[in-house]
Amino acid sequence: MTPTAESTRVESLRDAELKAHRLFDEVVARGLIAVGVSERRLSDQIRDLAADMFGTTKFWHKRIVRAGANTMEPYAENPPDRTLAADDILFLDFGPIFAEWEADFGRTYVLGDDPTKHRLAEDLPRIWEAGRAHFADNPDITGAQLFSFVTGVIADAGWGHVGEHVGHLVGEFPHVRVDGDKVESYIASGNTNPMRRLDAAGQDCHWILEVHLVDRERGFGGFFEQLLDIPSQ
């Protein structure tokens, strides 16, 4: 791939993420996250808002809104629809497609003043940034090494972690398949390949880093994800 073409890929992925960020900001500005709204209803409202703002009609993975005890569940599960309650915690995990480029964006929100929920929500971007800094400081890092580092930071902060990975490949839609049977598609303990490498199409690999924290004793969690190797600015 030529440098110009790769530059276009990077800018397109960055632009897709910036649009996802704007979408989430608008969700908050419109007060869509509110007590009494069901997860399914909020998901549909965000879907419709994405269509109004950007003409987005496709999402490359299932739209996730999870609140309360459902925030403990890994991506693959489909817990029963839940209604947002006072003093609740919830997260959004959406993969909108903008002009055939994928975004994968996750954020956590707290309703009320519960200090532990707020601490968890505040730790999410801090732990994510620690992972990004470690990736930046280690040019030859493997998926397994970054997984080990991030889960170690999570444990040191006193939280549990959900899932068998902390991120995955991202790209054009449909991107190079994130295959559940191919651990090299993930930032996971079994991926001993360097993360900075070319994919099967000869293109640079680009990654999403995700952090899913849980408080197992109190039964809630939170989630944060965005592009790992492409800065937003």
Expressed as residue numbers, the domain containing 99 is 3-227
In angstroms, the CA 131 to CA 145 distance is 11
Residue 37 lies in a domain: yes
What per-residue confidence (pLDDT) applies to 46?
92
Structure-block tokens of residue 89 = 């915690």
What per-residue confidence (pLDDT) applies to 60?
60
In angstroms, the CA 94 to CA 92 distance is 6
Total count of domains within the chain: 1
What is the share, in percent, of the chain residues with pLDDT greater than 90?
70
Structure-block tokens of residue 201 = 């199409």
Digit-coded pLDDT (tens) for 130-159: 999 999 999 999 999 999 999 999 999 999
Digit-coded pLDDT (tens) for 92-136: 998 777 767 777 889 999 999 999 999 999 999 999 999 999 999
Q: Name which residue leads in pLDDT, 159 or 177.
A: 159
Kindly tell me if the per-residue pLDDT of 36 is higher than 60: yes
What is the CATH classification number for the domain harbouring 107? 3.90.230.10
Dump the DSSP string for 54-78: H----BSS--EEEEGGGGGS-TT--
Distances (CA, A) of 140 to 3, 134, 185: 21, 11, 16
Residue 232 lies in a domain: no
Across the range 169-188, mean pLDDT stands at: 69
Residue 233 lies in a domain: no
In angstroms, the CA 152 to CA 168 distance is 18
Q: What is the CA radius of gyration of the chain?
A: 17
What global pTM score does this model have? Answer: 0.92
Q: What residues form DSSP beta bridges with 109?
A: 90
With a CB cutoff of 8 Å and minimum separation 6, the contacts of 123 are: 157, 159, 213
In angstroms, the CA 165 to CA 212 distance is 10
8 Å CB contact between 187 and 39 = no
pLDDT-derived band at 181 (thresholds 50, 70, 90) equals low
User: Amino acid identity of 23?
Assistant: L
H/E element holding 183? Answer: none
What per-residue confidence (pLDDT) applies to 61?
66
Kindly tell me if the per-residue pLDDT of 19 is higher than 60: yes
Kindly tell me if the per-residue pLDDT of 210 is higher than 50: yes
Mean pLDDT of the chain: 90
Kindly tell me if the per-residue pLDDT of 176 is higher than 50: no
